[in-house]
Chains A and B, each alone.
Chain A
Amino acid sequence: MIDEITAVWITYNLTERTIEHLWIFSIALIAAIVAGVAIGLFIYRRRRYASPVFSSLNAVETFPDIALLVLLIPLAGIGTVPTIIACVLYSILPIARNTYTGLIFVSPDLLEVGRAMGLSERFILLKVRFPLAFPMIAGGIRIAIVFTMGIVTLGGIFGAGGLGAPLQTGINLIRPDIIFVAGIWVGILAVILDGIAGGIEASLKRRFGSW
């Protein structure tokens, strides 16, 4: 059993594939966090855009991920770039929505006291609203991690590399052992990443939480 796993692992370069996979994953996640927080902040500043922006992001979300990757072929071809784009498109919604909610729903008492102390709106946003929104934002990022992990794997089928590639190979060669090893390994990675994110979220809640 162990020998077979090791054989598959070595033959199909699973160590390199894992590094590649995590690399794509990281780029996609960081891009999604930057875009999601920025959009959340933008909507917070311009409330009237909240409903159209969230409707569009929701529409993207309802799209099946394979269909989205296919649709991106004419725009971005196949490979790493469309995969990252798809990851970001899916992950913006939870991050932007939680950022927006976190910024909006700060206890009115804190805002009143902050204003009464003579704090500026900018100061309140940066030093009160944002820190208190951290646990919410982290919750959104955690959802994005799960999305991103799945789509990066799927992107392997469209030539993005990572752990989707050996899965594709396994399917083409009808080799259940490869599918099994690569599939389980992706699953374990996802659980580990989610666990780490959960830990970070919990510690942010302890530190900043009024939730």
Chain B
Amino acid sequence: MTLKRPFDRIETIDIHGVRKRFGETVAVDGISLDIRGGELLILIGGSGSGKTTTLRMINRLIDPDEGTIAINGIDTQTIDGIVLRKNIGYVIQQIGLFPHMTIRENIGLLPTIEGWSREEIDSRVAELLILVHLPPDQFMDRYPKELSGGQQQRVGLARALVMNPPLLLMDEPFGALDPLLRRQLQDEFIGIKEDIGKTIVFVTHDINEAFRLGDRIAIMHEGQIVQLGTPRDLILNPADKMVSDLVGSDRLFGHIASLTVSDMMVPASPIISGEMEVQSAIGVMVQSGSKIAVVRNRASSFSVLLLSTLLQMRDEVKTVLEATDPPFFLSMDASLLSALEEMKAASVSLGLVMKDGEPAGLLLPDDLITRLV
């Protein structure tokens, strides 16, 4: 039942100098792109920008005319196309569920070909249906046309995940859904993405979707990558007018210039003592549902503590103080933009906002972007 795998996990996908033309039209004009394992990379652009062609070259539905695409350093041209594609999940806007097969047969198609037993298939299908929020006993034996568009798209995702591929390619999967449903599926997808921890390349033309889902975003135009960066990079440092128009810096963030740090900070809590025992600090943080705590040490100075760091170092440190990071201080009425610039220059991702010598809040640029969107 095991699938022959050319790769079990994705370390890198190196797209190097890739070019593709269809007749007279140059679809992809010499792009290079490094995709990191575990990230969700968005390819965004208008129609004809080459984003879908790029996606299809990763699983070799299309072969590039020039350039190489290597997964974990192995040129995909040296991997058998069918073996490669069985290890890469693929989801498209039109979904493409086979109308003559039940949901169980659709999701279980590859396992069936791989010779899994009926019980193994059923339990895998049920597991995936639960993951995409469809009750298995209600949906297993229905046909695709008996499902709504949103339900079909969930099944499409479940089918793509069935062989547990380390890489998932998605081509505007939520594009055909109405805005409300699209938003709901995006939210669900964010949750699923964290559960499954896969490398995902995601094509969209919807900038809001890109900001909500993407770790990094590659903006494509006329077959080239205009800019590649985190949502924050794109908004704060658009490469050109096209990018700033697309990310809508002016439209969406026109008011950002008028904001101050205090407008966008989140409450600094809990505040704990530097001498607190590691275990009880973990307890306090978990209970408060906060991943970041402010630590007050004896000299009434402050530092910040990440729950993740604390969990990592729990066996090495006695008091929480040893696991803290020095804070990056911000003042409440500083302009938000300049605060973000400073943080970027210092490459910190967390600012401690002070007022009258006491912590007043935290500024988290990454979280900020999603809130502004």
Contact = CB atoms under 8 A, between A and B. Distances in A.
Contact of A128 (B83, B95, B98): B98
A210 to B, nearest CB: 5
Which 6 A-B pairs have CB atoms at the shortest separation, nearest pair first? A113-B96, A118-B86, A116-B90, A118-B85, A109-B94, A109-B96
Contact of B110 (A117, A132, A207): A117
Given A107-B96, A118-B86, A131-B100, 15 more contacts: A109-B96, A110-B99, A114-B96, A116-B88, A116-B90, A117-B86, A117-B109, A117-B159, A118-B83, A118-B84, A119-B109, A119-B113, A123-B113, A128-B98, A132-B99
B92 interface: yes
A115 B85 contact: yes
Q: Chain B at the A interface: mostly helix, strand, loop or mixed?
A: mixed
Interface in B149-207: 159, 169
Given A117-B110, A118-B85, A210 B99 contact: yes
B59 A116 contact: yes
Contacts of B90: 113, 116-117
17 contacts: A107-B96, A110-B98, A112-B92, A112-B96, A113-B95, A114-B98, A116-B90, A116-B92, A117-B85, A117-B90, A117-B109, A117-B159, A118-B87, A119-B109, A119-B113, A128-B98, A210-B99
Interface of A: 107, 109-110, 112-120, 123, 128, 131-132, 207-210
B82 interface: yes
B130 interface: no
A118 B92 contact: no
Given A115-B85, A116-B59, A116-B90, A109 B110 contact: no
A116 B113 CA distance: 15
A107 B144 CA distance: 15
A118 B100 contact: no
By CB atoms of chain A within 10 A, which of B87, B94, B98 has the most? Answer: B98
Interface string B64-104: 00000000000000000111111110101011101110000
Interface residues of B, number: 23
Nearest to B87: A118
B16 to A, nearest CB: 23
Contacts of A208: 99-100
Contacts of B98: 110, 114, 128
Contacts of A117: 85-86, 90, 109-110, 159
A117 B165 CA distance: 11
B61 interface: yes
A109 B92 CA distance: 8
Contacts of A112: 61, 92, 96
A131 B105 CA distance: 14
A110 B86 contact: no
Contact of B92 (A113, A119, A210): A113
Nearest to B143: A207
A13 to B, nearest CB: 45
